[in-house]
Homo-oligomer: A and B are copies of this chain.
Amino acid sequence: MVRVEKVEFKPVGVRDLLIEMKDLSELMIDLAYSAALFDSPALAEEVMEMESHIDTLTYLLNMNLMVAARDADDAESLVGVTKVAGATNKISDAAADIAAIVLQGIGIHPIIREAFEKVEERLTRVNVRPNSILVGKQLGELELAAKMGVDIIGIRRNKRWIINPEEDEVIREGDVLIVRGAPKGIEEIEGVAKGTIRKLED
């Protein structure tokens, strides 16, 4: 079930909000295509969670813009920002529409698969279990790209998303990782996160 987040005003940098919304909306499109291509409810649910989060960010952004605008000139210069935020929101809605097809079990028609099949690399979502060797490691030291041919392109930690995490980001128990890579590497990282694979091959 997608939780609807309660929104209260807090002063947040509009720039950071807009960047987060843009990055999230782009990731959502990729996730939604993958969800449809591989008929994956797990990925589709992640898209739905993100969609709900983007709604919250949109509220926050608009509240902060209203507070920031003290006169007509401010309002005029800031109105474009609300339009861009609205556009990212619309993109995220579109991603959610595609994800909904998977969750509603309408069935993915072969035509849809063919339209999305250019997505060569696979995306997956993995939960980091307490006994995984990933826990406490920095992304950089894991060298996942070299060792498995996969990239961690997003981390969900509680209600926060970290898109394109930095090398020094430390993986924690309970993190949800969004991973992109070739099918073999994807299988491996799933085992590593689950704790069934205890060693990274060189």
Q: Quick one: which of B22, B78, B91, B108 contacts A80, CB cutoff 8 A?
A: B108
Known: A88-B94, A90-B94. A18 touches B79 (CB 8 A): no
Main secondary structure of the interface of A (DSSP, over half): helix
Give 1 or 0 for each of A26-47: 1 = CB within 8 Å of chain B CB: 1001001000100000000000
B111 touches A81 (CB 8 A): yes
Chain A residue total in the interface (Cβ 8 A)? 38
9 contacts between A and B (CB under 8 A): A19-B114, A32-B87, A76-B106, A78-B109, A79-B106, A80-B101, A80-B106, A80-B109, A91-B94
Leading 8 A-B pairs by shortest Cβ distance: A90-B94, A87-B94, A87-B97, A18-B115, A80-B106, A80-B101, A91-B94, A15-B111
